Homo-oligomer: A and B are copies of this chain.
Amino acid sequence: MAKVAVDVMLKPEILDPQGQAILRALPGLGFDQVTAVRQGKHFEVDIDAADAQAQVEKIAATLLANPVIEDFAVRFID
């Protein structure tokens, strides 16, 4: 069995209000060296397939990410 991580992020040109809100909050907490924050989703998928990577790529493209506004990256965890 493979454990695969999928990170889904809004495309760079798309507004990310959540990341913006975090960025604005940080200086108040004493963290003033952060220049950008973007927030996305992180999925961990357990899959029992020989072609785990390919399958998860497909799952990400069909279900986990909306290609109109999001990009994704797939990566084996173990």
Q: Spell out A's residues near B (CB within 8 Å).
A: 1, 5, 7-9, 19, 22, 25-26, 29, 31, 33-49, 55, 58-59, 62-64
Contact = CB atoms under 8 A, between A and B. Distances in A.
Interface centre among A34, A36, A58, A63 (most CB of B within 10 A): A34
Q: How many copies does the complex hold?
A: 2
Contacts of A29: 59, 62-63
A35 B8 contact: no
A35 B47 contact: yes
B31 A55 contact: yes
A38 B31 contact: no
A25 B63 contact: yes
A25 B55 CA distance: 15
